Amino acid sequence: MSDAKWYVVHTYSGYENKVKSTLETTVENRGLHDMIHDVKIPTEIIVEDGKEKENKLYPGYVFIKMIYTDETWYVVCNIRGCTGFVGPSGKPVPLTEDEVYRMGVEKRVVEASYKVGDQVKIIDGPLMDFVGTVEEMDIDKDYVRVTVSMFGRETPVELEISQAELLEED
């Protein structure tokens, strides 16, 4: 496991792609692959006037997965269009694992041992040990809706996929 973490750098507006490509070229030319692992600009696809368009999720920012050293700081901060790292007084603060997934920088690999229509047992959270039926699920968004019987009523509950497991038949 490497010590590389995700950091965010601020760029001049409209310079995100230029900063990304210049940094990738610099990493290639200087052989810094072991220090600077990845450079990303999170985007989403939106449909406007019937046409698909790629939109930057965070205009003015570039995400870099790297091992932070004086050398990597210098390389990144001297890229034309880069105004510095995000953090107090320009001191880089790495993103937490949760922030990385929430902000769409990396996708979490989620596997479900069940499908729509299956009986599941809730294994985490306030409804732990409740049993219900899977009504809907979206693996990409790590979301499942389970209907459980609560106080004599069928109640839909939204969970993360990992909070439920397939009910084993005895």
Q: Domains in the chain, please, with CATH? A: 5-102 (3.30.70.940), 119-166 (2.30.30.30)
Mean local confidence (pLDDT), 65-82? 95
Backbone angles phi, psi at 141, to 5 degrees: -100, 5
Q: Is the model's pLDDT at 167 over the cut of 80?
A: yes
pLDDT of residue 110: 67
pLDDT of residue 137: 87
The dihedral region occupied by 9, where left means phi > 0, alpha psi between -120 and 50, and beta the remainder, is: beta
**pLDDT band at residue 80 under the 50/70/90 scheme:** very high
How high is the mean pLDDT of the chain?
Answer: 89
Mean local confidence (pLDDT), 50-78? 92
- And the tokens for 6? 């995700």
